[in-house]
C-alpha cells in the first residue's frame, strides 16, 4: 500500500475530538505490513523526544478511546509537526508514517534536533513557520503573537 501525503504535519485525524475536517481518516493509514521494515522503537523515541512547541490536555485515542497520558505535546523537528500520541497509533493500531516522514527520521539517524530555536524570538518565528492543520496554525499564530 502506498500512501500519498502532501503535508508536513501528520497524526491529526478526522475521527479526533477536535473536529479536524481537513485531516485524513486514521483508518486509511493503518498498514500492518509497514512495521516489518521499520525500527519502530527508534522511530517512537524520535517522535517522543523532538522539541515541542505546544502542549495541551490529552485527547482520547480516535480508535480505542484510551487516554494514555495527562498532557499531549505537539512536536516538531523543524520539518514535520505532529502530536506525540502518534506513537500510540503506530504501536497499538498499526498506523504507518508517510514515507517522506520516515525518510526524514532515517536521514537524521533517529536523532531529533536538540534545539530549533535560540531564544524566545526564534521560537515565535518557528511557530509562525510551522505547517500545521489550519486550526492548529491559527492556535500557533495566536500563541506566537501573545508571547
Which residues, numbered 111-140, are part of the site for Zn ion (CB under 5 A)?
Answer: none
Residue with smaller CB distance to Zn ion, 55 or 64: 64
Shortest approach of Zn ion to residue 15 CB, angstroms? 11
Q: What is the DSSP letter of 14?
A: T
Which residues, numbered 30-69, are part of the site for Zn ion (CB under 5 A)?
Answer: 61, 63-64
Assess contact for 72 and 84: CB atoms under 8 A: yes
Shortest approach of Zn ion to residue 32 CB, angstroms? 15
Query: Looking at the chain, which runs of residues are DSSP E strands?
Result: 52-57, 71-76, 81-83
Q: How far apart are CA 18 and CA 56, in angstroms?
A: 12
Residue with smaller CB distance to Zn ion, 40 or 138: 40
Which residues have C-beta within 8 Å of that of residue 128, sequence separation ≥ 6?
Answer: 140, 141, 144
Binding-site string for Zn ion from residue 71 to residue 110, where x marks contact by CB under 5 A and - marks none: ---------------------x------------------
Q: Which grid coordinates are listed for 60?
A: 482520547
Q: How far apart are CA 21 and CA 131, in angstroms?
A: 16
Residue with smaller CB distance to Zn ion, 64 or 103: 64
Residue with smaller CB distance to Zn ion, 20 or 63: 63
Interacting residues toward Zn ion by CB under 5 A = 61, 63-64, 92
Amino acid at each position: 500500500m502506498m500512501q500519498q501525503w502532501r503535508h508536513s504535519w501528520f497524526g491529526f485525524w478526522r475521527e479526533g475530538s477536535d473536529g479536524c475536517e481537513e485531516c485524513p481518516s486514521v483508518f486509511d493509514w493503518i498498514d500492518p505490513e509497514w512495521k516489518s521494515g521499520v525500527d519502530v522503537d527508534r522511530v517512537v523515541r524520535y517522535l517522543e523526544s523532538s522539541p515541542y512547541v505546544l502542549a495541551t490536555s490529552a485527547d482520547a485515542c480516535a480508535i480505542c478511546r484510551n487516554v494514555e497520558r495527562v498532557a499531549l505535546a505537539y512536536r516538531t523537528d523543524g520539518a514535520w509537526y505532529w502530536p506525540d500520541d502518534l506513537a500510540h497509533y503506530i504501536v497499538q493500531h498499526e498506523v504507518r508514517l508517510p514515507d517522506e516522514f520516515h525518510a526524514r527520521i532515517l536521514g537524521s539517524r533517529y536523532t531529533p534536533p536538540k534545539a530549533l530555536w535560540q531564544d524566545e524570538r526564534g521560537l515565535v518565528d518557528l511557530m509562525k513557520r510551522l505547517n500545521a492543520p489550519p486550526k492548529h496554525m491559527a492556535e500557533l499564530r495566536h500563541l506566537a503573537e501573545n508571547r
